Chain A
Amino acid sequence: MTTSTSLAPGQPVNTQQELRQRTLLGDAARRFARNKLALVGLFIVTALILTAIFADFIAPFPYDAADPVNALQFPSSEHWMGTDEVGRDVYSRIVYGTRISLAVGLGVMAIALIIGVPLGLLAGLAGGPVDYIIMRVVEVFTAIPALMLALLLISVFGGGLYNVILALGIVAWLDACRLLRAQLLSLRERDFVLAAQTVGASKVRIAIRHLLPNAVAPLIVAVTIGIPVAIFAEAGLSFLGLGVNDPIPSWGKMVGNSLSYMRVYWYLGVFPTLAIAFTMLGFTFFGDGLRDAFDVSTNS
């Protein structure tokens, strides 16, 4: 890493301070702050999180308050985004939908990590037959189309939000596992590992103190990039009517329902698709920004 803070000639170099200033996180934060698109992403993601937390205060109506008399109302001052086919306020449903999308994004990645990280560690560190078996399992799961696997699992578990998250998590762990393994394999060959070996560090110590910390940044990046993918998958499943059940507000399901009304009630399709698009863009910008800031390559 070349230093970017220039020192005036003759100025004494305070190594202690220098070390404290130039941490991995500090460097990453500085690079991140310089990236406009990443900041836009951070802004969108923060806004989404706040919306999800304070949905009760932001939404003017409950998400499940049906009012058949006022069904299919065009956007007005009372219902900013109109009402749906049973008279629920679309704006409120989109606000509450943030919760569902974020819960799915975070939940799926959490499950992916719970399964993927131990297996990736095992494959990358143990090598040999353990690695071979784990990689064949990964290969088998990759060969089954993701949508089909998710559907099969949802059919086995039954529907509902938690089972959708569980099923998508089981589909998503492959990337985390593959990435971690690839990282460990390449890190193992680096000079600092050789150096640690030379001074007599044990295998376990090398793994915990030297290999793992270096694999964390790529993993964080992979998780941030995986979140929009999971959100998209849930939206897709709910769009087909196979994800979360009524009256839980899922953007994907709102889009799916809008199809039958779209000739006249165009607003039913516009707002949830915009919500999905913005969320995807926000998380993608944020994830790409993190990737550039940590300077990791994600093509494994």
Chain B
Amino acid sequence: MARYLLGRFAGILIVFFIVSVVVFLLMHAIPGGPYNEDKVPLSPEAKANYMRKYGLDRPLVEQYVLYMGNALRGDFGVPFQSPTETVTGLIARTWPVSASLGFAALLVAIPLGLLLGIIAATRQNTWLDYAASATSTLGLTVPNFVVAVWLVLLFAVQLKWLPTGGWGEWYHYIMPVAALALAPMALTARYTRTSILEVSRSDFIRTARAKGLSGRQIMTRHTLRNALIPLITVLGPQIPNLITGTIFIESIFRVPGLGKFFVTSILGRDYPMIMALLLLVAVVWSVVYLITDILYTIVDPRVRLGKSKS
């Protein structure tokens, strides 16, 4: 286990390094810079000053080494789009907003998805099953910004139950969370259903039934326990996207989260912010993947990490 983790860690570091180089080169390949005339009216002298201040006049290799060196020490620089604060400060201010939305969406999506999946599986081929399946198909195919627009039109414009957007009150969570939760809920429901139906056909369920356990006991003690294992791998990859902010949802509901910076930092050639966001996402991804792998070994003792995985 320890050896496996160490190997994984080394692998992650190598990928990190290459990713950071690729993105660094890509973002400097974008024509124009953060202090070009089309963005801020600056005299050539002032522009040169800024370029010198942020080290943008040095060779690319030097800039890269400097940035990564500082980043390793926890200094991610100053966002060009908001020069009065640090990148770390900006992320610390906006990320919790996005993360709280993401976690709220997961808290709604997983239980509801499980419920839908269990209902669909236990009432297979009834109208309940079809309704649940239709819901999950819709949730998986219709893009979340489309759902978000419908929510606004229905609950804010027509019924006037909720404001069209904003942030700060508990009710501001309702629509963005609903829009965000739909897809993971649908995914959970679909996999739960398939998985339960598959497990129900296995021998140990027949044994449980033969020894006279009630349907409910079989479901909770035997079927569910085994059926939920694959869900970990399905839901794992959903988490990073949800908790690092979704620009569509945040811009529709005017949520002051991290999402919009993924776009504005690129449009504004905000090099320090681009690198910081990239590293943030990469770290969240690796952590989530590692946790998923470890969780898997805990839930399913047959899986051993580091041994012949293919």
Contacts and interface: CB of A to CB of B under 8 A. Distances in A.
B164 interface: yes
Given A155-B266, A262-B164, A280-B141, A143 B15 contact: yes
B115 interface: no
A232 B153 CA distance: 21
Given A140-B18, A143-B285, A155-B30, A273 B149 contact: yes
A255 B263 CA distance: 18
A262 B262 contact: no
Interface stretch (B21-29, B48-56, B214-222): B21-29
Contacts, number: 103
B277 interface: yes
Contact of A240 (B15, B23, B149, B251): B251
B157 interface: yes
A266 interface: yes
B15 A140 contact: yes
Interface residues of A, number: 35
A152 B266 contact: yes
Given A242-B263, A266-B153, A144 B22 contact: yes
Contacts of A266: 153, 157-158
Given A139-B15, A242-B263, A236 B145 contact: yes
Contacts of B213: none
B281 interface: yes
A279 to B, nearest CB: 10
Contact of B19 (A144, A153, A270): A144
Interface string A100-119: 00000000000000000000
Contacts of A232: 143
A276 B26 contact: no
Interface string B126-167: 000000000001101111011001101100011000001000
B143 A276 contact: yes
Nearest to A282: B141
B145 A143 contact: no
B278 interface: yes
Contacts of B278: 144-145, 148
B27 A276 contact: no
Contacts of A277: 141-143, 146
A153 B30 CA distance: 8
A147 B258 CA distance: 14
Interface string B264-288: 0011000000100110011001000
A263 interface: yes
B262 A151 contact: yes
B267 A263 contact: no
A269 B149 contact: yes
B19 A259 contact: no
A184 interface: no
Interface string A261-289: 01100100110010011001100100000
Nearest to B27: A152
A161 B16 CA distance: 32
Contact of A155 (B19, B149, B267): B267
Contacts of A153: 26
A166 interface: no
B252 interface: yes
Contacts of B158: 266
A255 B146 contact: yes
Contacts of B285: 143
A259 B267 CA distance: 21
A235 B248 CA distance: 11
A33 B222 CA distance: 38
A262 B247 contact: no
A258 interface: yes
Contact of A259 (B142, B150, B247, B252): B252
Given A262-B149, A270-B153, A145 B281 contact: yes
A249 interface: no
Which interface residue of A152, A156, A270 has the most chain B CB atoms within 10 A? Answer: A152
Interface in B5-52: 15-16, 18-19, 22-23, 26-27, 29-31
Given A140-B18, A262-B164, A148 B266 contact: yes
Interface in A144-189: 144-145, 147-148, 151-153, 155-156, 158
Given A228-B141, A281-B138, 12 more contacts: A139-B15, A140-B15, A140-B19, A140-B22, A143-B15, A145-B278, A148-B274, A151-B263, A155-B266, A240-B251, A240-B263, A269-B152
29 contacts: A136-B15, A136-B18, A143-B16, A143-B282, A144-B22, A144-B278, A148-B262, A148-B278, A151-B262, A151-B263, A151-B267, A152-B27, A156-B30, A156-B31, A228-B141, A235-B145, A236-B143, A255-B149, A262-B164, A263-B157, A266-B157, A269-B149, A277-B142, A277-B143, A277-B146, A280-B142, A281-B138, A281-B141, A284-B141
Interface of B: 15-16, 18-19, 22-23, 26-27, 29-31, 137-138, 140-143, 145-146, 149-150, 152-153, 157-158, 164, 244, 247-248, 251-252, 262-263, 266-267, 274, 277-278, 281-282, 285
